[in-house]
């Protein structure tokens, strides 16, 4: 039987998030999403067990059977005709309800580990199909080492870009219960905003131009999310005003904002001030490549 396996999975920030007003037959918005992997990271460990078991540390507030990790393991086993006899343990460092994709990252990591254990390429169409069933961002985390454009409901890979590792980034999140994706989309539906084009960001990523990437950050869901959680908007505006910040915005539906910085020293300074002066959660970090060496 395979030995226990462990994988470290990053979270993500949205360099571009364009939500369209129209919805598909399932009621999902059309979404254009360009994601970039960053630390912090969760660690997912998988080993043989009599039956499927999933645990998170610290524990989540939902039953194991309701988690994306459980669903990912169960659906992949069904798709490949395998018995889901594994124990999955997730050590969580990615904040919840932050817009950083923690649950999707965990599901993607589980799919990668189980695909390897069961002799399937993580990018095999069966695995990708399961990732899309589990959640909108999960397919990105099958290969998070490169920025990627996802379309459809945010679950269809359209393009990957050259690695963009080592860009200094700071994450800042005000205290509170965190952002609710459903509530943000409901608020968006009351006054939909133009999604804009993702092409300027794509061009910047193809060229590896960090200044252009920072200048073209876009998230048309952020105003709706900020109306529900004004402290989120305060943190984003504060980031924009900091010396050495090239660009800043909310990630996903929040409540975490991020800034692309001129240097690691700038990111460190901003993180310290966010924690010490404003009592916000903050972390200076970097964008990650395939090696994930900053996790």
Instruction: Name the β-bridge partners of 169.
Output: 260, 285
The CA distance from 226 to 253, in Å, is: 9
Residue 9 DSSP code: E
Residue pair 109/126 in contact by the 8 Å Cβ criterion: no
Helix (H/G/I), strand (E/B), else coil: 71: helix
> Alpha helices of the chain — where are they, by DSSP H?
68-80, 102-117, 125-134, 181-190, 199-207, 210-215, 222-228, 230-240, 264-278
Catalytic residues: 12, 137
The CA distance from 285 to 251, in Å, is: 15
Residue pair 56/78 in contact by the 8 Å Cβ criterion: no
Percent composition of the chain: helix, strand, coil (DSSP 3-state, to 5): 35, 30, 35
Helix 102-117 / helix 68-80 crossing angle, nearest 10 deg? 30
Instruction: Name the β-bridge partners of 258.
Output: 171, 249
The CA distance from 185 to 253, in Å, is: 8
């Amino acid at each position: 039987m395979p030995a226990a396996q462990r994988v470290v999975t990053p979270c993500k920030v949205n360099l571009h998030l364009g939500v369209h007003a129209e919805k598909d037959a399932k009621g999902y918005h059309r979404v254009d999403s360009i994601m970039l992997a960053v630390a912090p990271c969760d660690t997912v460990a998988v080993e043989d067990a009599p039956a499927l078991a999933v645990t998170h540390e610290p524990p989540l507030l939902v039953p194991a059977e309701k988690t994306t990790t459980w669903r990912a393991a169960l659906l992949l086993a069904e798709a490949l005709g395998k018995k889901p006899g594994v124990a999955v343990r997730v050590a969580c460092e990615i904040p919840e309800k932050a817009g950083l994709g923690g649950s999707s990252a965990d599901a993607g990591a589980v799919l990668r580990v189980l695909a390897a254990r069961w002799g399937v390429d993580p990018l095999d169409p069966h695995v990708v199909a399961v990732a899309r069933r589990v959640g909108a961002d999960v397919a990105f985390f099958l290969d998070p080492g490169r920025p990627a454009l996802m379309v459809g409901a945010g679950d269809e890979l359209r393009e990957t870009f050259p690695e963009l590792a080592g860009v200094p980034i700071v994450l800042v999140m005000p205290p509170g219960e965190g952002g609710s994706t459903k509530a943000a989309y409901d608020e968006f539906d009351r006054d939909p905003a133009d999604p804009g084009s993702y092409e300027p960001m794509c061009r910047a990523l193809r060229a590896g131009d960090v200044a252009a990437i920072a200048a073209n950050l876009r998230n048309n869901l952020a105003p709706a999310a900020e109306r529900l959680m004004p402290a989120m908007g305060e943190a984003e505006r504060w980031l924009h005003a900091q010396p050495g910040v090239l660009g800043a915005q909310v990630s996903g539906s929040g409540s975490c904002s991020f800034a692309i910085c001129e240097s690691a020293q700038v990111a460190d300074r901003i993180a310290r001030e966010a924690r010490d002066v404003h009592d916000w959660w903050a972390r200076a970090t970097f964008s990650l490549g395939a090696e994930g060496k900053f996790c």
